[in-house]
Structure formats: structure tokens, C-alpha cells
Structure 1
Amino acid sequence: MSRSLLLSPRWRKVWADLAGNKLRTLLVVLSITVGVFAVGMVYSSYLMFQRDLAGSWGAASPADVSLYADPFDEELIDSIRSLRGVREADGRFNADVRVRTAGGEWRQMWLTAIPDYIKQKVNVVRPESGSWPPGDGDVLLERSSVTQLGMVEGSRILVETAAGNKRLLKITGIVYDSSQLPSLFSGRAYGYIDMDTLEKLDEERRLNQVNLVVEPWVLQGKEKAPIEAVGRRAFSKLEQGNTTVTWFLVNKPGEHLMHGPISAILLLLAVMGVLSLLLSTFLLVNTVAAILTQQVRQLGIMKAIGAQRNQLLRMYLTLVGAYGILALVVAAPLGALAASALTGFMAGMFNFDSGGLEFPGRVLLLETAVALGGPLAAALWPVWQGTGRTVREAISDYGIGGVVPGGRFDRCLDAGLAKLKELPRPVVLSLRNTFRQRGRLVLTLLTLTMAGTAFMAVFSLRAALYAGLEQTLDYYRYDVMVQFTESYRTNRIDQAVMRVPGVKAAEVWGYTPGRILRDERKESENAASSEVTVLAPPVDTEIIRPVIRSGRWLVPGDENALVVDTTTVNDNPQLTVGAPAVVKIGDHKLRLTVVGIAQGVLEGTYVYAPYGWLSGAIQEAGRARSVQIVATDSAPQAQKTLGRAVDEHLKRQGLKVKRVTPVFETKQRIQQRNGILIAFLLIMVVLLAVVGALGLAGSLGLNVLERTREIGVMRAIGASSLDIARVFVLEALCIGLISWLAGALLAVPMAALLAHQVGLLFFHYPLDFYFSFTGVGIWLGVSVTLSLLASLLPAWNAARMSVREVLNYE
């Protein structure tokens, strides 16, 4: 016996509605699945990000304060541990060296020596493979550096020390250090050695960094001030030990190093989730209303044979609930898998551990609420209206009574269409049918318009990102940068560089690390300050093109003038145009005035001062620490070759080279970072296009099903199959074009808002607004294509039915 025969009549009808009309069931389930999937993926991704970031960051016992100083003895660490408010402190030594990659290029590397790898307490480095801890002459590579260097375990790397000597180290393992910026973002590699190996690299067996964690009672939410107070005591303790602190860094409690980029991505995720949920909600209201309208006469018949309103309510709400359960079964696992894939991808980019697939109970509860609560809420009013009709009203309804014009809009529309006598009759009928049921049209347009708005806004954000990237890359008008370990006379540097074949021009700059102090008071040196790189180009330089966001660039005659970049301003909001700035360089405390704010170039924190004034202020007049070279051939391989030639020639001339950087490598890193966000935006665009496609297909597909009997009337009076198909295709195209136009208008403010917020989160300055007409054109093509696909097949199938079959359709 069939299982359906065991059910009561009304539940058999529910089963028949589900199984008997498979196309409608598929469309409704897909409509609900869209919203459930989007919500599940976004919320799961958010929770997985939180879980994995907190796990990776917390497992390392991250430092609340880091102090970098001139070399000091290990005994100072014990005295810092005894300070009030300090829970734990560790010391280490960082050697800034150069390493030869597998491709033969020299890259910067930070080799860290830790006195005792087994007893680490702060910024803990964890082994992943190979030997542990490193032995004498061995090095462990941080996992984000492996790809950058192209090295594997067991191979040997050639290291050049600060003194210019070369040493071979054996790679014996891979480690993970969550306290370091990924090599992709920092541009440097990381390695870990023991103290014996440190001595072989021409360094003292001492420490130059302190990392400390404060006691829990010091922490006050996200406030940094209480942590700074403890850090100042450690600062003073180091200075009492006859060492000079060069950098004092206070971390925001619980905030990962990549907080800014990850926040930008989470913002985009949230926008996508909200939009997808709204799209799904509008689609559900439209879908349920269409189903009830289609079954009005069935409601009248059931009422005529004794059905009560509460029974009909339960029956139709159960049907809607069944749709929601089917959607939940499909969307929940897909959302979890998509979230896991997204989190794994981001973990690889931002160098944190991915915990893999997880199906949190709260996500399932939210998905269940969306899958059941949303459809039921959307269905309640249409069901209540539909079940409230009298038997006479319901049975006499043929689904086409609304065609009779009754309002001013209808009369104006009909008058306008009457003037278009040259249009074929099917076209006029399509235009009239488009506005026949305006409530349903509004919901359909809302769905399509929101999808189109988001699609075009994301393309505009992508255009803004590319424009910002071009501005950043245009900053570099030179091809190779050379830094020296000490200052040399400018004419000596210039003469040596110009003798190298392939050098077209050279410009000597001041280049030195510094710190931004809060004010001129002595105690401000002990406060948290920002490390910056002070560049001192000639004021008439033409080999860089900074983008000035406010104020001006350096001009001839400037003395204590300073231009700061947006990254510096983000750390030091007091640095506005016209404000004073105190910069400490070595033992010199310089008082300057901010004259301009330049766009950051994503490669560090830079401030600019005029060479002539700065070199005299730090007692290096006529001397410099870097040279920027313009090559006769700017091709990447030519830059590499020239960089190696300059490096070797300068060393033969007795100049100690610290770093040689072909500019194309810097540009490549910047492009890779932007590529992460742009790739994520493209994923978002595809998902929004899918949402729009499902919304349009569901709405128009149900619209065609509802009007099947109308098709029969048209066939009965002589309409051909092609004429019938054309009516529905043109109607769909009309809806698609209206939604496209409305979406294009709304995309302008939404794109501007996204450019502002994403720019602040990712780059520390609002992106310039660019409207993408490419995105407008693409969405026009998408709208037309989706309209055709959503309407053509159902309309064609209905047009092929016989007159008798169509008129008997319920």
C-alpha cells in the first residue's frame, strides 16, 4: 500500500504538492537554500576565524609589550620579570642578515636566537617538522618563509652577516611563529638559531629584544594605557642597565597582527550575508504568495467540503515548513564546507592554523531559524489572506481577474501602450503583464535590484582597489634600492654606483630608523612610541611620486618640515597638517612641523624630511645611507641582474651593503597582498550572481506556472507556441532591465561606502571612489542572460501543452 494512502486527505495534499510538482518544489527549496547557505557560510566563517585566530595567537602566549634595544646581558631579563605587573618576560636576539634564495637572489632575513627553546614563555615558537631545538650551525625556517626562499629541509642556505661575511647554515626543521607578520606581508624571511650559532654570525652572545606579558589584573578590556604603564617600567629598567631602547611596541590585547586585513574581509563577509538573507526573504514572500494565488480555487473547494480555516493554515504552513527542512538539509552541510574552505584559504594567506571543518550548534540553530522561521513568517500573511476568502470568492477566482485596470497607474499605462500601435501584440501584452500584479513585481524587483546593486558595487570597489594599487606602484620611479650599514659620503656612493654598467641615473638619500615621540618631554621617550623609517630625499626628487592626501610635499627652502604617510597617522592620530612632530633618531631629538600627509605604500611606516636639513640635524651632512638607482632596462630580470652587479661592485669598493632590493620585488609583494582582497571580492561577486540567478529563476518560474491556464486561453484563440514563449521572455527581460537600471543607481552610494570602509580597515586611508561601468555592463549581460534562462524553458514547456491540458491545469 502506498505510504501516502495512510495519511489523512489534507496531508496527502501536502505530499502531492511536494512530490507532484517537482519543478515548483525545486524552485522554492532553492529560494530558501540561498539564504540559509549564505547565513551559514558567513556565520561559520566568522566563528572559524575567531576560533583559529584565537587558538593560534593564544597558543603562542603573545607579548603585550615588546622592547628592542642595543645588546644587553641576560641578567636584565630577570630584573624585568620582577617588576610589578609583569607576569612573564623572555629575551632573544634578532640578527638582520641577508640570505641567498634557491633562485640565486639575496633577500632580507631575520635570524632569531632564543637562549632556551624548551622553556619559552612569551611569543612561543612551535616546532612543526624536523629537529628541535636547533643545533650549532643549524637553522629552523618559519613556515611562511619556506615558499619565499624556495628551500626545503636538509638543504643549506648561504647567509651574509652585517659585517659582510658569509656563512652556511643547514635547514634542519620547520617552525611556526604566530608573533611574526607572514613573509608575504613583511617581505623578509624568518629563521631560528641557537646562541652558539649566533656567535658564528659575527654577533655577541647577548640579547636585544624583550617580550613581556602583563598580569591579568593590569588588563582593562582593549585599553593599551595600563599595559603602557608596565612597559614604561621595563623601558626604564633597560636604560638603567646601560642600553638604549630603539623601539617600544605595545600590542592591543587579544588583537592579532593581521587584524586590519582580516577585519576588512569579515566586513565583506557580513555585507554578503546580510544581502543574501534579504534577497532570500524577498524571494520567499514572492514565492509563497504565488503558490497561494495559484491554489485559490483549491482553497474554495476544500472549504466547500468542510475544511476549517485553522486546518488550512496548518496544512499550508506545514507545506512551507517542509520546503524549509528540505532547504536546510541541502544548505547546512554546503555552508559548513564553504566556510571551512574559505577559512583554510585565509589561514594559508595570513599564516594561522586552521582547525578544519566544524559544525557549531549555534550555526545550525541559526540556519534552522532562517530555514523555518523565515519561510513561515513570509508565508503567514499570504496564507492568512488566502484562507480567509469565502467559498464563492475562491471558486470564482480564475487568477486573471486582476487584469482589469482599476487605478490611475493602470489607466495611464494602458493609454501609453495604446499609442504604441507599431509594436507587435505579444510585446504590448508582455509590457502590460509586467505591471499587472505590482506587489509581486516590487518583491521581484527588490530581489534582483539588491543582487545587482551589490554586484556592481563590488566591481566598483574592485576598480577602486586597482586604482589605489596603480597609485601605489606609480610611487616607485626607480628600479633598485641599496641600503648601507653605515653612512658614506654622497659623492663616493654616487661615483661608485655610476660605474656599474646598466645604471642610467642614481639619487642618494638619507635613510634611517626613528621614533615618533608624543612630545618633547624626557619622559615621553619612555612612553609607547611608533617606529618609523625616516627617508630624506632631495626636495626636487623625480624618482618617487607620492600621492598627497592633505597638505603638500617638500619644497626647496624647507628645513624642519615633515611629510608623514597614512600608516604613520593611523598609529599617531595627533599628526595632522600643521601639527608639531618630535622624531628621535639615535641620540638626536628633532622638532619638526607636519606639512603634508602622503598615501602609504604598504611597505612600512615612512616619514619624509628634506635631505639637506636632516643630514645636518643628525650630524651626517654630505653623507647618506641609501641610493636609489634608475636602470637602463627596467625589466624584472634586468633589475635582478643589475642588483647583483651593484652589490658586488660596491663591496669591492669597500662599502658595506645591508640590503639590495629590486623594486619589482616590492611591487610584486604589494600586488600579492591586494590580490588576496581582490580574489575574495571576485568570490563574493560570483556568489551574489548566483543569488540573483536563483532569485530570478524562482520568481519567474513560479510566475509561469501560475499563469499556465492563461496560456491555454491564448492558445485557444490562436496564439502560436513562439508567440506564447515570446510574451514571457519579453516580460522577464523587462523586469531584468528595470532591476538593472535601479541597481546601477543604488550601486553608486553603496560603492562609495564600501571604498571608504574597506580602505580604512585595509590601508588606513579611504580609497578614492571609482564607479565601474564594466560592472554595470557585465550585470546588464547577466540580467539579460538570467532573464532568458529563467523564463524560456518554463514558457516553452507550457506553450507545448495542448489546449485541453492547459485549461485543466490547477
Structure 2
Amino acid sequence: MRIRYLKVLRDLTSDYGKNFMLVLAIAIGVFGIGVILGGYSVITREMKKNYMGTIPASATLEMRDSIPKELMESVRSFPGIKDAERHATIVARMKVGEKWYPLLLFVVDDFNDMRTNKFNRISGALEPPSKTMLVERTALVMMQAKEGDNIVIKTPNGNPAEVKISGIVHDPGLAPAWQEQAGYAYIALSTLEQLGENPEFDQLRILVDANNMSAPHIRQKASELADALNKHGHFVEEIQVPPPGKHPHQGQMNAVLTIFIVFSFLTLILGSILVATSMQTLMVKHVRQIGIMKTIGATSGQITGIYFFMMILICLVAMLFVPPSHAAASLLYNQVAALLNLEITDRSIPVIVPIIQVIAGISIPLFHFEMFFVIVQDW
């Protein structure tokens, strides 16, 4: 038995160059799968957690006129509606240096009782005082400002006015400001009036109480509510139903990561080809040794066991690349998180990822191991 192990050790050390190439070929495939699948699993999990944590509205009803506060209780008690909230969105402009950029002003009814499309406070005030605003964190770079600075803002019907940044927030439901080349800010109704606009809410955001992941069901309930509002003189001009439970940029993310996954499996195929080539090269040297071992009485099973053990050792060495691949995966999902304005709260990679890596790392060489078995049987 010791002689077999000694042969394996000498085979591995005497031709370390070819054996190293064999290890490298397996490791390339294992590493690529770990990076892509690890990054993909973390991003998809965190994207859903970030976005659903904001309690995104099931639908938004664009109203012709202002929504009176007393109407909200009737809306919330409407059959099939779980909750509702008044909102308004103003497309304003902000002055940065000598240039003007778009600025989306989100008017919040009650900062202490937000029911839909919530955000996370980072610093400063939770409820912005009059003539101040909360700014989404990615917009600070666009504004070239920080908390406490004043920004010149002009609304469609108002004059340019300075508004102080009283707090910083994170809204996972928004794309980074630098992607949209626009700023994001949250203000109270009193601030909207001071900026020269009518102090009114014209958006009704609702949450349905059942089948809230079914777009047809959401649209049906929103239409029923719209019909009831129209009958009572509160006219609905448009109903918007976003894809339920999906981040606004999930489609782009899936497309990019799908391409990466395809490339990772192409890398795995390349590794398989390299393994086959390396094993064929290795066979040239060992064909004669197999013949000698059979001549002195070694059985086919014993010889196959020797090379099988050697291949397992090579696979185990290649598995050392599994942990580094997870570290590289963190670089991937951190970059994607920055592109999607996400906050990674759980960096753990699912157990299924290293399991897939180990299976792939062992399967590649064992798939080609049959060539050794055929040669052993032929002698």
C-alpha cells in the first residue's frame, strides 16, 4: 500500500509542471463559477430585501385635482385595499455651480407615518423643517453639497430659492443620481408652498391586501377604486402598476449577470478542454508504466486506484481556490450594489454555491478519467 502512495507522490512531484497546469485548468473553472454564482446569489437576495423593505406601492393613481385628507379613510377602507397614502412629485431644477440640473422633489404627507415607498434615514432630521429638504445619498455628488448646505431650487411656477439640506437618506427604490443625471429630495407640503407651488397632493399610492404579487389583480383593484372615486367627483387620470415585487432596474441587472453566468460556464468548458489536453499529455508518460506494473502482477483495479487517488489529490488542491473566489465575488456584488443603489446587509454566500463548485471541480477530471481506465483495461 505504501508503494502505491509513494508512486503517486513521485508522479506528482516529478512532473510538477504538467500537474500544475492540470490543477490550474480545474481551478479556473471552479474560480469562475464561484465568483459569478456567489455575486449573483448575494445581489438577487439583497435587491429583493432592499426594495421590498421600502414597501413599494402596488399602484399609483394620478388624480386630476388635489386629494383631500378626509378622503384617505374612505380609500383605506375600500374592499381589497390594505393601505393608501397621498403623494406628489414635482420636477424642479437645481443650480450646481453655473449649471442647472433636474431635481425630483418628492412631497411626503407625514414623515412620521410613511406607509409606502419608505426610505432609510442616514443622518440629520427625520422630518425636514419648513424650507429644508432631505436628500438621497447618491444625489450629494450631483449637488456637490453636504448636509447643512443650501441649494438653489426652482420649481415650474416658482422663483429660484435656497433650500437647506437638513438630512441624508437612502432610497433603494431609486437609481443612483449620477445615472439619471438628476437629484432627489424629499420635502414637506409647507416647503412646496414656499417654493411657489400649490400645496396639494395629486398622487394616490395604494397597497392591495391580497395577491399583491399579481399585476392583473392589482390593476383590477386599482380600476375598481378609480371607478368609485370618479363617481364621487375625484377624477383619476391615469393608473400606474409597476411590476410587482421587482426592482425598477432588476431587468438590466439580470441581463448583465446572465451574460456573466454564460461566460463562467464557458470558462468551465475551457477548463474541461485544458484538463483533457493535460491528461492526454500525462498518459503518454504513464502508458509504459502501466504495462510494467501489469507485467509484475498488478491488477487493473489496483492500477486504476492509483491514478484515481492521484486525480482526487489534484482536485483537492484545486478546491483551495474556492475561498478566494468568494472574496472575488464580494468585489462583484459591491460594484453591482453601487450601480443599483443597494445596501448589502448580508454578505454570506449560499451553501449551494461551494457545493456546485466542488461538484464541478471533481466532475471535470473524473469525466475524462475514463481514458485512463480504457488504457489500463487494454493492457
- For residue 13 of structure 1, report the CA deviation from its aligned partner: 1.5
- Correspondence 1:65 to 2:59: yes
SS at match of 1:72: coil
Q: Separation in 1 of the partners of 2:92 and 2:229?
A: 25
Alignment check: 8 A CA contact 2:174 2:341 kept: no
Aligned residues: CA RMSD: 2.0
Aligned pairs (5 A) from 1:296-335: 296-330=287-321, 332-335=322-325
Q: Name the residue aligned to 2:328.
A: 338
- Correspondence 1:292 to 2:286: no
Q: Match for 1:84: what amino acid?
A: P
Alignment check: 8 A CA contact 2:158 2:196 kept: no
- For residue 270 of structure 1, report the CA deviation from its aligned partner: 2.2
- For residue 142 of structure 1, report the CA deviation from its aligned partner: 1.0
Q: Per the alignment, do residues 218 and 153 of structure 1 end up closer, same or farther by CA in structure 2, a change over 3 Å counting?
A: closer
Q: Separation in 1 of the partners of 2:124 and 2:139?
A: 16
Q: Name the residue aligned to 2:186.
A: 192
Output one character per residue of 1:283-306: Cα deviation in whole Å (capped at 9) or x when no partner. Answer: 222222321232111112222233
Q: Name the residue aligned to 1:263.
A: 254
SS at match of 2:128: coil
Q: Separation in 1 of the partners of 2:18 and 2:301?
A: 25
Q: Name the residue aligned to 1:47.
A: 41
Aligned pairs (5 A) from 1:426-437: none
- For residue 354 of structure 1, report the CA deviation from its aligned partner: 2.7
Q: Match for 1:44: what amino acid?
A: G
Q: Per the alignment, do residues 178 and 241 of structure 1 end up closer, same or farther by CA in structure 2, a change over 3 Å counting?
A: farther
Alignment check: 8 A CA contact 2:148 2:166 kept: yes
Q: Separation in 2 of the partners of 1:289 and 1:77?
A: 75
Q: Name the residue aligned to 1:382.
A: 371
- Correspondence 1:95 to 2:90: yes
Alignment check: 8 A CA contact 1:52 1:354 kept: yes
Alignment check: 8 A CA contact 1:87 1:214 kept: yes
Output one character per residue of 1:584-615: Cα deviation in whole Å (capped at 9) or x when no partner. Answer: xxxxxxxxxxxxxxxxxxxxxxxxxxxxxxxx
- For residue 325 of structure 1, report the CA deviation from its aligned partner: 1.3
Alignment check: 8 A CA contact 1:85 1:218 kept: no
SS at match of 1:388: helix
Gaps of 5+ in 1: 1-6, 391-810
Aligned pairs (5 A) from 1:9-88: 9-69=3-63, 70-88=65-83
Alignment check: 8 A CA contact 2:211 2:217 kept: no
Output one character per residue of 1:171-213: Cα deviation in whole Å (capped at 9) or x when no partner. Answer: 1221122233432343431101123322212234331212222
- For residue 238 of structure 1, report the CA deviation from its aligned partner: 4.0
Q: Per the alignment, do residues 230 and 345 of structure 1 end up closer, same or farther by CA in structure 2, a change over 3 Å counting?
A: same
- For residue 9 of structure 1, report the CA deviation from its aligned partner: 1.0
SS at match of 2:79: coil
Q: Per the alignment, do residues 97 and 244 of structure 1 end up closer, same or farther by CA in structure 2, a change over 3 Å counting?
A: farther
Aligned pairs (5 A) from 1:361-372: 361-372=351-362
SS at match of 2:202: strand
Alignment check: 8 A CA contact 2:41 2:349 kept: no
- Correspondence 1:135 to 2:129: yes
- Correspondence 1:226 to 2:220: no
- Correspondence 1:360 to 2:355: no
Q: Separation in 2 of the partners of 1:83 and 1:187?
A: 39
Gaps of 5+ in 2: none
Q: Match for 2:372: what amino acid?
A: V
Output one character per residue of 1:431-454: Cα deviation in whole Å (capped at 9) or x when no partner. Answer: xxxxxxxxxxxxxxxxxxxxxxxx
Alignment check: 8 A CA contact 2:300 2:377 kept: yes
Q: Separation in 2 of the partners of 1:177 and 1:98?
A: 20
Alignment check: 8 A CA contact 1:77 1:90 kept: yes
What TM-score comes out, normalization by structure 1 length?
A: 0.45
Task: Please tell me whether Structure 1 or Structure 2 has the larger radius of gyration of its CA atoms.
Answer: 1
Q: Separation in 1 of the partners of 2:100 and 2:16?
A: 64
Q: Separation in 1 of the partners of 2:29 and 2:108?
A: 51
Q: Match for 1:17: what amino acid?
A: D
Q: Per the alignment, do residues 294 and 198 of structure 1 end up closer, same or farther by CA in structure 2, a change over 3 Å counting?
A: same
Q: Per the alignment, do residues 111 and 45 of structure 1 end up closer, same or farther by CA in structure 2, a change over 3 Å counting?
A: same
Output one character per residue of 1:564-592: Cα deviation in whole Å (capped at 9) or x when no partner. Answer: xxxxxxxxxxxxxxxxxxxxxxxxxxxxx
Q: Separation in 2 of the partners of 1:116 and 1:196?
A: 12
Q: Separation in 2 of the partners of 1:50 and 1:294?
A: 48
- For residue 276 of structure 1, report the CA deviation from its aligned partner: 1.1
Q: Name the residue aligned to 2:201.
A: 207
- For residue 148 of structure 1, report the CA deviation from its aligned partner: 1.7
Alignment check: 8 A CA contact 1:195 1:205 kept: yes
- For residue 271 of structure 1, report the CA deviation from its aligned partner: 1.7
- For residue 358 of structure 1, report the CA deviation from its aligned partner: 2.7
Task: Please say which of residues 165-174 and 240-249 is displaced more in the overlay.
Answer: 240-249
Q: Name the residue aligned to 1:281.
A: 272
Output one character per residue of 1:235-286: Cα deviation in whole Å (capped at 9) or x when no partner. Answer: 2344345444343211112221012321220221122122111111222222
Q: Separation in 2 of the partners of 1:304 and 1:176?
A: 75
Q: Per the alignment, do residues 359 and 181 of structure 1 end up closer, same or farther by CA in structure 2, a change over 3 Å counting?
A: closer
Q: Per the alignment, do residues 67 and 308 of structure 1 end up closer, same or farther by CA in structure 2, a change over 3 Å counting?
A: same
Higher RCO (CA < 8 A, seq sep 6+): 2
Q: Separation in 1 of the partners of 2:185 and 2:59?
A: 22
Q: Per the alignment, do residues 11 and 80 of structure 1 end up closer, same or farther by CA in structure 2, a change over 3 Å counting?
A: same
Q: Per the alignment, do residues 100 and 60 of structure 1 end up closer, same or farther by CA in structure 2, a change over 3 Å counting?
A: same
Alignment check: 8 A CA contact 1:88 1:214 kept: yes
- For residue 41 of structure 1, report the CA deviation from its aligned partner: 1.5
Q: Name the residue aligned to 2:115.
A: 121
Q: Match for 2:360: what amino acid?
A: V
Q: Per the alignment, do residues 234 and 142 of structure 1 end up closer, same or farther by CA in structure 2, a change over 3 Å counting?
A: farther
Q: Name the residue aligned to 1:775.
A: none
Aligned length: 378
Q: Name the residue aligned to 1:160.
A: 154
Output one character per residue of 1:443-491: Cα deviation in whole Å (capped at 9) or x when no partner. Answer: xxxxxxxxxxxxxxxxxxxxxxxxxxxxxxxxxxxxxxxxxxxxxxxxx
- For residue 54 of structure 1, report the CA deviation from its aligned partner: 0.7
Q: Per the alignment, do residues 145 and 247 of structure 1 end up closer, same or farther by CA in structure 2, a change over 3 Å counting?
A: farther
SS at match of 1:217: coil
- For residue 123 of structure 1, report the CA deviation from its aligned partner: 0.9
Q: Separation in 2 of the partners of 1:385 and 1:107?
A: 71
Q: Per the alignment, do residues 28 and 368 of structure 1 end up closer, same or farther by CA in structure 2, a change over 3 Å counting?
A: same
Q: Separation in 1 of the partners of 2:192 and 2:248?
A: 27
Q: Per the alignment, do residues 189 and 237 of structure 1 end up closer, same or farther by CA in structure 2, a change over 3 Å counting?
A: farther
Q: Separation in 2 of the partners of 1:61 and 1:367?
A: 36
Q: Name the residue aligned to 2:141.
A: 147
- For residue 136 of structure 1, report the CA deviation from its aligned partner: 2.1
SS at match of 2:56: coil
SS at match of 1:174: strand
Q: Match for 2:324: what amino acid?
A: L
- Correspondence 1:249 to 2:243: no
Q: Match for 1:79: what amino acid?
A: S
SS at match of 1:112: strand
Alignment check: 8 A CA contact 1:142 1:190 kept: yes
Q: Match for 1:73: what amino acid?
A: P
Q: Separation in 1 of the partners of 2:84 and 2:13?
A: 68
Alignment check: 8 A CA contact 1:63 1:212 kept: yes
SS at match of 1:132: coil
SS at match of 1:113: strand
Aligned pairs (5 A) from 1:649-660: none
Q: Separation in 2 of the partners of 1:150 and 1:280?
A: 48
Q: Separation in 1 of the partners of 2:258 and 2:93?
A: 38
